[in-house]
Amino acid sequence: MAAMLLEVQQVGLNFGGVQALMDVSFSVSQGELFSIIGPNGAGKTTLFDCISGRYTPKGSIRINGAELVGQKSHLRPKLGIMRTFQNIALFPNETVEDNVLVGSDYRLRSGLLRSCLYWSPLGCSRQEGRHRAQAREIMAELGVEQFADVPASELAYGTQKRVELARALVAQPDLLLLDEPMAGMTSGEKMEIAALVQKLNQDRGITVVMIEHDMGVVMEISHRVLVLDFGQRIALGPPLEVIEDPQVRRAYLGDTV
């Protein structure tokens, strides 16, 4: 059995009088492709915000045994966590390559500090060169290398999504959080991104936790599925099992029986 990578235990979060998450618990194994579904307002992105450090919930969130609750959000990459967003969060006036390089910033700065301490600007330059080479390799894998010198604002929506994914990958994460990576895409684009996510999971061994509304994609590529409704967990298990759950069909698919 694969080792446990992410452990979420009894996580809760209130916004004033509104309880956004209520005692949500689940775990994700290393190498798993895990999806989170639920109606709008179910708490999916709020849960991601708790894992990535935007909010501090009650309960416990651990990665590789290290507690995340109470830790600063900027420490997440060092702990192996990277995230993409539902609304694209690129620097529009910067080139694609520079946007992707942001993902390796936490590693580059530590190298720069060591280089400065030892008066080695050449070492610093070599390290930056390695990071740029790695960025180009990942950009090629995701099909955006030809846009390396193009400002992000000039790219089509689907291409910007790929650039955001490349930025996350260059950080070499253990856990990749994807918040609706296929939102706003055509059916053809969705199929391409779904195949790419599955390939990254299988070939690179990256553990993926994905929020997604397209049930066809979820059913096709997920190992397990967590279903939230009104901030509560209502189902967890293999896709075929979850989709037949009466609570899920009522809450998510609108069944009345």
Please provide the DSSP assignment of the chain as one string.
-PPEEEEEEEEEEEETTEEEEEEEEEEEETT-EEEEE-STTSSHHHHHHHHHTSS--EEEEEETTEE-TTS-GGGTGGGTEEEE-SS----TTSBHHHHHHGGGHHHHHHHHHHHHHTT-HHHHHHHHHHHHHHHHHHHHHTT-GGGTTSBGGGS-HHHHHHHHHHHHHTT--SEEEEESTTTT--HHHHHHHHHHHHHHHHHS--EEEEE---HHHHHHH-SEEEEEETTEEEEEE-HHHHHT-HHHHHHTS----
Same domain, 177 and 74: yes
Residue at which a domain ends, from 150, 171, 192: 171
Domain carrying residue 157: 93-171
d(CA 181, CA 86): 7
- Rounded to two decimals, the pTM is 0.89
Residue at which a domain ends, from 137, 171, 205: 171
- From first to last of its 257 residues, the chain has per-residue pLDDT tens of 679 999 999 999 999 889 999 999 999 999 999 999 999 899 999 999 999 999 999 999 999 999 999 999 988 998 999 999 888 889 999 999 999 998 877 655 444 444 444 445 555 566 777 878 889 999 999 999 999 999 999 999 999 999 999 999 998 999 999 999 998 888 999 999 999 999 999 999 999 999 998 989 999 999 999 999 999 999 999 999 999 999 998 876 665 54
Same domain, 179 and 160: no
In a domain, 160, yes or no: yes
Same domain, 116 and 142: yes
Residue at which a domain ends, from 152, 171, 190: 171
Same domain, 180 and 254: yes
pLDDT digits (tens, 9 = 90+) for 17-64: 899 999 999 999 999 999 999 998 999 999 999 999 999 999 999 999
Same domain, 110 and 155: yes
Same domain, 73 and 180: yes
Residue 116 pLDDT: 43
Dihedrals φ, ψ of 100, to 5°? -65, -40
In a domain, 106, yes or no: yes
Same domain, 251 and 215: yes
Residue 107 pLDDT: 56
Same domain, 56 and 1: yes
Residue 88 pLDDT: 83
In a domain, 85, yes or no: no
